[in-house]
Amino acid sequence: MKLIDGKALAAKMQAELKVRVEKLKTFGIVPGLIVILVGENPASQIYVRNKERQATAIGMKSSVLRLPEEIEEVELLNLIETLNNDDTWHGILVQLPLPAHISEEKVLLAITPEKDVDGFHPMNMGRLWSGNPLMIPSTPAGIMEMLREYHVELSGKRAVVVGRSNIVGKPMAQLLMMADATVTIAHSRTKNLSELTRQADILVVAIGQDRFIGRNDVKEGAVVIDVGMNRDENGKLHGDVDFEQVKDIASLITPVPGGVGPMTITMLMEQTLRAAERKLK
């Protein structure tokens, strides 16, 4: 077994991004990411702080707009419209989840696709599925970078993605298909899941179920990507894959923490930078 070190790859990429940021600055463009946070969700506060910190660390401009929980939907939509037209910001991100009185769909639709660094706008999802992506959701984008870095051959391989969310499972499946893998998407209603996952050369698990995938669910020599982030009663982080059981079966495996997680924010920065670089062209 070999470990896929997401932390090390993220650090390497950040150094590369820093160079690209500096280069862009010589043309008078400072790439900027603005994050909108509504309410006081503690997990969201941490995510948002990490995003701002990493953006600043690579020399980008970054700001967090902290808005009160009771903000009206129309006010938020107006604010997004203002930011759409503000050239200082190349990426706009609204931290999810939103309070119940605000429609997530309306908010995602309001962000102009060119600045939608999360890649959740239906236009960006559609472009990805039609094979002409503009913005790609960060988590699957980061996984593709890891597979590239570790020279995992995808063409003609059997990939199984467990989980079909819009932010991980679906875009992941499409990216693997674009790389010529033969892809199966599994979910909570899939019958005989284990039979399916055992056929995978590349297995990506994004279900949010603590250590769900065990020894008997993985083929010898498979590449296993664990997206899950589950906290146990002691606050310890675990993946969707039982690392201890699977590590000696897999040829390559991502740990949790230190695997997929660190790459996600880095890819968000990469997308923002790319959006800013497009201004140059």
Active centre residues (catalytic): 51, 95, 118
The least distance separating ligand NDP from the CB of residue 140, rounded to whole angstroms, comes to 9
Strand locations in the chain, DSSP E? 2-3, 32-38, 61-67, 91-94, 158-162, 182-186, 202-205, 223-226, 230-231, 237-238, 252-253
Does residue 6 touch ligand NDP according to CB under 6 A? no
Exposure letters 115-137 (e unless 16+ CB within 10 A, then b): bbbbbbbebbbebbeeeebbbbb
Does residue 218 touch ligand NDP according to CB under 6 A? no
Quote the CA–CA distance of 165 and 15 in Å, as a whole number. Answer: 31
Question: Among residue numbers 18 through 77, which ones bind ligand NDP (CB under 6 A)?
Answer: none
Residue in 117, 229, 249, 253 binding ligand NDP, rule: CB under 6 A: 229
- The window from 26-34, 43-51, 116-124, 227-235 that contacts ligand NDP (CB under 6 A) reads 227-235
The least distance separating ligand NDP from the CB of residue 159, rounded to whole angstroms, comes to 16
Residue in 32, 140, 171, 228 binding ligand NDP, rule: CB under 6 A: 228
In sequence order, the 6+-apart residues with CB closer than 8 A to the CB of 121 are 108, 109, 111, 113, 135
Does residue 194 touch ligand NDP according to CB under 6 A? no
Does residue 191 touch ligand NDP according to CB under 6 A? no
- In degrees and rounded to multiples of 5, residue 279 shows phi and psi of -60, -30
Residue in 174, 197, 264, 266 binding ligand NDP, rule: CB under 6 A: 264
In sequence order, the 6+-apart residues with CB closer than 8 A to the CB of 7 are 258, 262
Does residue 188 touch ligand NDP according to CB under 6 A? yes
Q: Is 235 annotated as a binding residue?
A: no
Instruction: Give whichever of 75 and 104 is closer to ligand NDP, judged by the CB atom.
Output: 104
Residue in 146, 168, 200, 276 binding ligand NDP, rule: CB under 6 A: 168
Does residue 209 touch ligand NDP according to CB under 6 A? yes
What secondary structure letter does DSSP report for 215? G
Q: Count residues contacting ligand NDP (CB under 6 A)?
A: 26
Q: Is 165 annotated as a binding residue?
A: yes
Does residue 208 touch ligand NDP according to CB under 6 A? yes
Does residue 167 touch ligand NDP according to CB under 6 A? yes
Residue in 159, 161, 204, 207 binding ligand NDP, rule: CB under 6 A: 207
Ranges of H-type helices in 104-152: 104-110, 122-129, 138-149
Quote the CA–CA distance of 153 and 40 in Å, as a whole number. Answer: 43
168: left (phi over 0), alpha (psi -120 to 50) or beta: alpha
Please give the torsion angle defined by the CA atoms of residues 157, 210, 128 and 270, in that order, rounded to the nearest 10 degrees: -100
Rule CB under 6 A: which residues touch ligand NDP? 139, 162-165, 167-169, 186-190, 193, 206-209, 212, 227-230, 260-261, 264
Known binding positions for NADP(+) = 163-165
